[in-house]
Structure 1
Amino acid sequence: MSKNDIFHQLRKHQKTLQDYGVRRCGLFGSFVRGEATQKSDIDLLVEFDPSLKTFMNFMNLCFFLEELFERKVDVLTPESLQRFSNE
């Protein structure tokens, strides 16, 4: 799997992602650096529509993505990254 394969799947399932409240989504980590292996997880930064930002949507999105890509997917939000920058 390549980063282009990931982008293709995200575009293909754009409607489903929007149903979970995803406004924007970005890839980072080993796939972007070209260092991914068969065991690498997928790292995504996801911005949610504030009106659809719920714990249930977050968890269902995580489950959907892991089933779609058949591997672990780490989903971070801008808010979760802010916590690290404040430490």
Structure 2
Amino acid sequence: MNREEVLQILRTHQQELQNLGVKSLELFGSVARNEARSDSDVDLLAELSESMSLFQFIEAKLYIQDLLKCPVDMGTKDALREHLRQPILEDIVYVF
């Protein structure tokens, strides 16, 4: 799946994702760089509602996986390890 396909799908479902507690999404990694292979996952950073529970986070991630029909790795900027932060932030593509 290429970057534009991922962006189009996620933006089309922005309202549903926000209803699940996802305030914003950013794409990074191979898909963001348009270097994804057929077996690549989609890497996302999410800003989440303060009241979002772990179960709601998992629900949102599974919803995105169903939309994209591929594995998704989703986390938050706060959870990034320091040595990974800069390379990840350089790849960021704003979704919504």
Q: Classify the TM-score, shorter chain.
A: 0.7 to 0.9
List aligned pairs for 1:2-81, cutoff 5 A.
2-51=2-51, 53-81=52-80
User: How many aligned residue pairs are there?
Assistant: 83
Q: Which has the higher helix share?
A: 1
Identity of aligned residues (%): 35
| Structure 1 runs of 4+ with >2 Å offset | none
TM-score (norm 1): 0.87
Shift of 1:79: 2.1
Q: What amino acid does structure 2 have at the position aligned with 1:24?
A: S
Separation in 2, partners of 1:33, 1:4: 11
Q: Which runs of 5+ in 2 are unaligned?
A: 84-96
Per-residue CA distance 1:45-83 (angstroms, 9 max, x = gap) = 0001213x21111000111111111110000112211xx
CA RMSD of superposed structures (Å): 1.3
Q: Which runs of 5+ in 1 are unaligned?
A: none
- The residue that corresponds to 1:85 in the other structure is 82
Separation in 2, partners of 1:39, 1:70: 11
State the structure with bigger RCO (CA 8 A, min sep 6), 1 or 2: 2
Tell me the SS of whatever aligns to 1:46.
strand
TM-score (norm 2): 0.80
Q: What amino acid does structure 2 have at the position aligned with 1:47?
A: E
